[in-house]
Structure formats: C-alpha cells, structure tokens
Amino acid sequence: MALQFQRNADVYIELMDTARAGVTETWKVPVLEGFSFSQAVNSSEITVNEAGETSRRARLLFNDSLAPAEWSFSTYIRPEVGDGTVVAPEMALWAMLMGGKDYTPNSPDLGGGIYNNDTFSPSATNATAVGTNTFGFGTSNLSAMPDNWNVVFAFEDGTNKQYFRMNKAVVNSASIDFDIDGIATISWSGFAQDLEDLQTSTPTNLASAITTGTTGSDNFIRNRISTVTMNRTDTSPDDAYSIVLTGGSFSVENNITFLTPEELGNVNSPLANITGARTITGSLNCYFDNDQANSKSGELFADLVADTTTIRNVFDMAVNVGGETASTPRLSLDLPTAHLEIPVINVEDLLTLEVTFHGQVASGDVDSTDEATIIYKA
C-alpha cells in the first residue's frame, strides 16, 4: 500500500520554451495546507419515460467534453535579497498572472538560484532594482495568456512518490490577505488544459529547481505595522490621508475561460484559454479615528460620505504591507488612480472601518494597464 499524504507535497512551476519543446526553468513554491487540483467532465443526460402496459423508463449519460483542469493553493509572501536584488519563490506565479512567457537569469549564480538581475519578459512584466522587484500589468492586455507554463504537484516520501502535472497552466486570480496577527499570504487559483498523471516518473528538471527564499525564516512579512497613504487627486488642493491598518486584501482577476469544441461523438478537450476583463479590487480595515487634524480614517469617512456629486473619485494610494522600515521584508501595492467606495462602519468593541477600493486606469483610458503595481522590498 502506497498512500500519499498532503504534508509530503511540494509544488513546482515549470516554464517551457514557447514551442513547448523543453523546460527552460523550474521554481519550487512552498504551499500551505488546503491546496487542490482536479479535472471534471461535462456530460449530457437523456431520459426515456414511455407510458404503456410495459413502460420504458431509462436514463443514459454521455460524456461531452473535458472541463479545464482547476488548481488552487496559498503561499506566504517571502521577499529574499540576492546581491541587492529582491526575488521570491512566488515570482513565477506573478509572471504567469501578468502574461510573462520567458525568463532571463543573469549570472553569476549567487547560490540557491539567486541571481543579480532575474527578469521575466515581455519587459513590462517585472523590473528589478536595488532593494526592489516590481511586477506590473504593462504587457498583460492579451487575448490569451501564454500556454508554456506547467504546475507540478509532487508527493515524495522516500521511495513512495507520485506526481501530477497541470499542462498549459494559467493563473486566473491572485488574492493577497493580511491581518494584524498573521503572516501575509497569497491565494492563487487557475486553470490548465489537462491534468496528467505522471505516476512515479519524476520530472528530471525538479532536481535543479530554483529554491530562492524557501528555506529562510526571516523573510516572512508580518502585518502588525501595515499602513496606507493616499492622496485624493481629483480635488484641489489634494486631500492627503495616512492610516494604520489592522488588515486588508488585494485581488487580481483575469476572468479566464477556455474554448472547447462541441463535436458530437467525441469527448472534446479544451483548446486554449481566453482572457476576460481584468479586475483589480480590495479592502482595507482600520479603526475609526476621528483625529481631523492628522488626516486619519475619520476624516476619510467624512469626506467620502459628504461627496454626493463626484461620479468617479481618484486616489493615489500606496498600501504598505509589513510597514515601511528599510531592510525588512515588505510589500507595496501602488494604485495611482484608485476609486474608493464609502467606507462601511462596523460596530465592535471599537468602531472600525472597511474601505473598499478598485484599481482603475488613469483618465478612463481603457487601453492603459496602469491600475496597479506590486513591489517586493527587503
């Protein structure tokens, strides 16, 4: 008997060349409990219900097509510094989300797969600099996401091994969550063209996978000092606010679907992915602080609830997950033209606010891709 246990699982991200002829790079991504992967079948049902002295009552089921394989897991946010440049285990997933299709590692290898200037392409996917690594949506206005990525779920317990590969995988959504007593996490979910059972055949590239940031214990982001600064730019003069947060979230949705043929007499397979509208949204949680002199949350609430004429407000907003202290792991979410809803007051032991925001393109230009950038710092 060879049983597989969840705690023995590792997840790997494979990047193949654009012709899918071979694997060019692999990343190991530590995941949290509760991951899943599956593939279902779409079917049709025909029933027969004929009256008579001897009736016919039957039901037939026909397999029409395979549904796209689905996968999901969560990771911690773990910025890691290598020769001044910030990298992280989940960087390949951000590249998948934003349309990255190639990877250039710059030598020398500093050990553990950490390079001086790792970049994904197209060039607008991410940019490295001393102390930062920025991911943006500059080249994500695609009708279909690149299909040269795979996700491998590996179960290894000594000689007891089992591997599953999600072929032509895409990231559909990423959701960052942080609260005052926790560690910042990202929930990833997506699709793949099919789920392949590799059984005990170990993919040869797993042994050389990049393991940046997977073994350290000092690169987790603690949320106790998370803050947000925002300037309302559609008013004159600008209104500025600085608020300490108790938690929040930030989500990106690609709204991906898969094209599948509908031929009779065949079990059709998914052909390719199609992107939908990109949706960027989130929420911020804080105490209700009516210190009007210091532009706290109470003033933000008062200004928004009193504004009954603005159709679309504009805030230049920077969410600092993990604070702003230099040389510490942290994440900055930059939304230069965010739209804010009126905050919701929650009556608890202390009054709290929940502020919902939406990443918007500048000046309503739907050809733009400047809703948000994700900046790793360490």
Residue 108: is the preceding peptide bond cis (ω within 30°)?
yes
Given a contact cutoff of 8 angstroms between Cβ atoms, the answer to whether 335 and 371 are in contact is yes
Confidence of residue 118 (pLDDT cuts 50, 70, 90): low
pLDDT of residue 150: 97
Are the C-beta atoms of 175 and 75 separated by less than 8 Å?
A: no
pLDDT recorded at residue 88: 86
pLDDT reading at 107 higher than 60 = no
Asked if residue 69 has pLDDT above 80, the reply is: yes
Q: What is the pLDDT of residues 27-57, one digit of tens each?
A: 999 999 999 999 999 999 999 988 878 888 8
Query: Does residue 293 carry a pLDDT above 80?
Result: no
DSSP category for residue 327: T
Give pLDDT, residue 106. 62
- Backbone φ and ψ for 297, nearest 5 degrees, come out as -65, -30
Q: What is the pLDDT of residues 176-211, one digit of tens each?
A: 999 888 899 999 999 999 999 999 999 989 999 988
The domain ranges of the chain are 6-39+62-377
pLDDT above 70 as % of the chain: 96
The pLDDT score that the predictor gives to residue 111 is 45
pLDDT at 363: 85
pLDDT for the residue numbered 108: 41
- pTM (predicted TM-score): 0.91
Exposed / middle / buried, residue 30 (Cβ in 10 Å: 0-12, 13-18, 19+): middle
pLDDT band at 122 (very low <50, low <70, confident <90, very high): confident
**CA–CA distances in Å: residue 15 to residues 9, 97, 146:** 20, 13, 10
Residue 88 neighbours by CB under 8 Å, 6+ apart: 77, 78, 79, 80, 133, 212, 213, 219, 376
